[in-house]
Structure 1
Amino acid sequence: MAIGPTSPLTHDSAIVIVGGAGTIGSSTALHLCRRGYKNITLLDVYGFPSDYVTYGPSQSAGAGDINKHIGTSYSGTRGEISDMTMDMWRNDPVFKDYYHEVGELTAASLPEHIADLRKSYKAKLNHPNKSEEIKWLGDREEIIAHCPHLANGLVDGWQGIWTEKAGWGAANDAVDSVGRELRNFGVKMIFGQPGTFGRPLIDEATTRCVGVITKDGEKHYADRVVMATGAWSPSLIDLAGQCVSKCWIVAHLEVSEEEARRYKSIPVVYNGEVGFCFEPRFIRHHEPGKDRWIIKLCDEFPGYTRFMETTPFGAEEPIKVSVPRSHSAHPTDTVPEEGMRRLRRVVEVMLPEFTEREFVKSYMCWCTDTADAEWLFCQHPSHPGLYLATGDSGHSFVTLPSAGSQVVDLLEGKASAERMRRWGWRPGRGDPEGTGRGGVAPKDLSDLDGWAHGDDERAE
């Protein structure tokens, strides 16, 4: 294999994608295949959802969720590719069966939050071809007219934006569809322990990344390595503080078939003061007799971190990084007491019929934020051939059909100078344009009551 900082990329180049069964990784592999690349290897701890029995469930990230919000974005790179994204959700054979356009209500009740929504609404009205898709709902009656299931909810004082052309995507099914397509293309896939990242292979003479060593000691040589490792990225590669991994809490509420019929096709409801929920989804289980109807809901808050000392690649000594703790590997973990109270509040406000019903499942879903909520898509500044494709900031799943095209543009040198600036290696840049999450700093899980984590490294 030729080693050098500028080895040309051809359709026969060996490309390894670490985290290749996740949102950005699988999307990157799909777009590589569609552009004619033939030598692609995916590495991941967990396989695609259809590999549940063999590799176990990946339940700690967006790609392993049962549903995610889908709708037009109006800011940053995601806004610029939004038309492409929504067209693929509606028309691409890999994705169209997994998008459900039921509409979305984005609401608030506090005056300052309503004012923020008003500003957002006015900005969206100026968006070409999108103004007819949105409507301002100014009181309870207008909200109930669009979301009849909220008639008994605690929605007095709510106002907000109604978006007709929005809904939800069946997350794990959509990613599984990508996986089937990649198998049709002949992509090599290695999951489980043999697919678990150990460290990059670096040529000492050139500092170029020439592959990956997995946890089993196997060396996988490549012309390009793409680290699409989501929330685990900062604990695997020293990102100089550019990404912080955070988690939010997901709960599943089981309903009967009759109840599911009554709530079928309800819009996605999001209130940043409370949380959000989706229509019931029929979940087929890999074991007979365990199929069920599930309403997924989530609270809304700044997220939680889990800072601990670790030594990612590139760090000369241990550093403090927020490290995810996978529900897949630790299924008996509980959620903090305050988080459970917030989840019960979502039910009380939006689904009061089920106020007394217990959740059948609750767990923490992880992502990694950049300060400005733009992706970190760039070549590592010290190791040519090593590419970072992370920094989802809680927004990447909506771009599952299209995010990979942006990564491939980066690999091919086609990304615009402006996008390279936004995505580039930028420690210390912060959020000068105010596009990030903002708000108060997240709490750390170690400071919270009720989080059972028996074998955690910091447990006492």
Structure 2
Amino acid sequence: MPTRRLQKTDRIIIIGAGAFGLSTSLHLALRGYKNVIVFDRHDYEASKYDYRSGAESASSGMSDSSIDILPHNTFSLTCRNFIKDLNKIIRSAYGSQVEYQDLSKEAIEWWTAWNEEIKNGNDLPPGLDSSDRVYINNGTLSFTDKDELASFELDTIRNMEAAGLAGTQLVTMNPQHVEAAEKRGVGYGIDPFRRKERGKGNVGVLDTTGGVVVADKACRFALHKARALGVKFVFDAQAGAFESFWYDKVGKVIGVKMQNGERHKADKVVMACGGWTPSLIPELDGLCETTCGSVIMLKIPRDSPLFVRFSPERFPSWMWQLWDGAEGGLYGFPRDDLGWMKIGYRGTKYTNPQVQPDGKVRSVPITRYTPGDKITHIPERAMKVFKHFLAEYLPEMAESGIDIELTRLCWYTDSFDNHYVVDDIPGQDTVMVATGGSGHAFKYLPNIGKWIVDIMEGVGLERTLVQRWRWRELQAGEKPFNVLMEGSGSARALQNVAWSKDSDLKLGTRPRL
């Protein structure tokens, strides 16, 4: 926690222009800090947070012009890793973790305000107009193939009611809730997979506060707002790429050195480098690790009846058996304006352990833009889970001749307890780390920076979330939420997994799990 009070004129450097970095820069500017600069090695001005154009962060998305329409075989072979993240889930449902529930409520208020700003259209970045939305409130369905709701869902319902949000969580098996959903215009979210008409069970809860965030547009809007308030951005493969810290004679960090050799002094450095953070900050060993989930993309033709069926106005975002291990952990979205429908899998979180300069092994992201070998498939296990789900819950895809068009890996930073890390590096009160999103942080893009700046200023340090985000170690006997740093011998290490094949993109067969 901070030992020196920040001054509004202090030079604050942020490394990374993803969700944590953008939000921190925005809220520093909103509080009147006059000397904030953000460095990133990707030119987000040019790429507009579009992965195909080089944007690698988990905050990136796919813009309307990011895909060339090619023959099917060429498309699936060459574009498989071109998209990073098209959209993100918004949810208030957090079981017994009421602090994140409250943080979600605060975030939704910000998202709604951003939508209004865009609708008014007075000052928008290139590529956005008044018809755009960064937040679509179409609900988030959490469901299972079990016979009853999990304790997580029951805790959510109870805690949302206690927070004065009764009626926001609609149980799919409750006739009164089904009727209420119809009256409120969200009946589509109760049984979006048409389980009832197929004679199947339909056990779940629709979080009506939830929905979808359009990732690339949200980042572009946040960047535009921060710049308008005076934040400076350096986007360059060398000048924007972090090389090392700059130390004084007694070992205190006084700035950063970039890969072009330039040094920049700073009163405070914030490391918000997403999946690259653990390999840049060795002190995170045992606390955080870079992991990846698997993603498939289906392309629904505009002239297909499914284009209407899976529109955001008729289909919610969803999570399936989120805490059920390797055979669960799926999530998905309605299709976007071009017909792309994304489904993700985090039931198994894979790693890419590599020997680092200090001789230790740490997981690092590997993307389409990584020098050397490229990842052009997803693990076989992930593909089997995807295809099993599609055969059971979305058989109309195969029936309509729709196959998997794209596959990719999506990198995150997991902490051992699934909480974020927002604190100074031990022994370096001039360097803060803002990381550990653990796959559930992007929804807080508008407001997480407010909390980060609070911590920088020493405000509200007694709050439960702030305490949870402090630097910490796994205690003896403590069971981790995420098992970290299993090394190169792990079954989750990419060098040890079996990979899917091009033939697996074809739907119509249900693989054995």
TM-score range normalised by the length of the shorter chain:
0.7 to 0.9
C-alpha distance in 2 between matches for 1:302 and 1:328: 23
Deviates more, 1:256-265 or 1:301-310: 256-265
How far did residue 131 of structure 1 move?
2.1
Mean alpha-carbon deviation: is it higher for 43-52 or for 193-202? 43-52
Give a deviation string over 1:263-292, Cα, whole Å, max 9, x none: 21211122123622211112xxxxxxxxx3
Distance change >3 Å, CA 258–CA 67, structure 1 → 2: same
Match of residue 453 from structure 2: 408
Match of 2:382 in 1: 339
**Aligned mates of 1:408, 1:135 — CA distance in 2:** 36
Q: Distance in 1 between matches of 2:459 and 2:235?
A: 31
Matches within 5 A, 1:157-196: 157-193=201-237, 194-196=239-241
Partner of 2:308 in structure 1? 261
Distance 2:9 2:419 in 1: 31
Residue 246 of structure 2 corresponds to residue 201 of structure 1: yes
The alignment partner of 1:160 has SS state of strand
User: What TM-score results when the alignment is normalised by the length of structure 1?
Assistant: 0.84
Q: Which residue of the partner structure matches residue 349 of structure 2?
A: 303
In the alignment, the residues of structure 1 paired with residue 378 and residue 24 of structure 2 have an alpha-carbon distance, to the nearest angstrom, of 33
The 1:55–1:185 alpha-carbon spacing in structure 2 relative to 1, beyond 3 Å, is farther
Listed as ranges, the matches of 1:24-423 within 5 Å are 24-48=20-44, 51-52=47-48, 56-64=53-61, 65-74=85-94, 75=97, 77-92=99-114, 93=116, 97-111=133-147, 114-138=149-173, 146-147=189-190, 149-151=192-194, 156-193=200-237, 194-205=239-250, 207-238=251-282, 239-259=284-304, 260-264=307-311, 265=313, 266-272=315-321, 273=328, 275-282=330-337, 292-311=338-357, 317-329=358-370, 333-355=376-398, 356-418=401-463, 419-423=465-469
Q: Could you tell me the percent identity over the aligned residues?
A: 26
- Pair 274,416 (structure 1): closer, same or farther in 2 beyond 3 Å: closer
The answer on whether the counterparts of 2:334 and 2:341 sit within 8 Å (CA) in structure 1 is: yes
Indicate yes or no: 2:56 matched with 1:15. no
Write the distance in 2 (CA, Å) between the matches of 1:414 and 1:236. 28
Offset from partner CA, 1:370-405 (integer Å, 9 cap, x none): 122111110111222010101111111011111111
AA aligned opposite 1:319: K
What is the root-mean-square deviation in Å for CA atoms of aligned residues? Answer: 3.1
Q: Secondary structure at the match of 1:349?
A: helix
1:48 and 1:427, CA in 2 relative to 1: closer, same or farther beyond 3 A? same
DSSP 3-state at the match of 2:342: strand
Give the secondary structure class of the aligned counterpart of 1:377: strand
User: What letter is aligned with 1:406?
Assistant: W
Residues 90 and 140, structure 2, Cα contact 8 Å, conserved in 1:
no
**1:289-328: CA deviation from partner (whole Å, max 9, x where unpaired):** xxx32111112413111222213xxxxx321212111234
In the alignment, which of 427, 431, 444 is matched to residue 493 of structure 2?
Answer: 444
Seen in structure 2, the aligned counterparts of structure 1 residues 430 and 39 have a Cα distance that, compared at 3 Å, is: farther
Asked whether the equivalents of residues 63 and 397 of structure 1 are also in contact (C-alpha less than 8 Å), the reply is: no
- Residues 384 and 125 (structure 1 numbering): CA distance in 2 closer, same or farther, change over 3 Å? closer
- Residue 48 of structure 1, CA deviation: 3.0
Deviation at 1:35, TM superposition (A): 0.7
Residue by residue over 1:64-105, the C-alpha shift from the partner in whole angstroms, topping out at 9 and shown as x without a partner, is 421110121542643342322111011235688310011121
Q: Is the 8 A contact 1:268 1:279 kept in 2?
A: yes
Give structure 1 stretches of 5+ with no counterpart. Answer: 283-291, 312-316, 453-460
CA distance in 1, matches of 2:452, 2:150: 36
Shift, 1:445, TM fit: 1.2
**Partner Cα distance (1:388, 1:123) in 2:** 34
SS at match of 2:296: strand
Unaligned runs of 5+ in 2: 62-84, 120-132, 182-186, 322-327, 502-513
Would you say the 8 A contact 1:304–1:443 is kept in 2?
Answer: yes
Other structure's SS at 2:206 match: strand
1:46, 1:58 within 8 Å by CA — same for their partners in 2?
Answer: yes
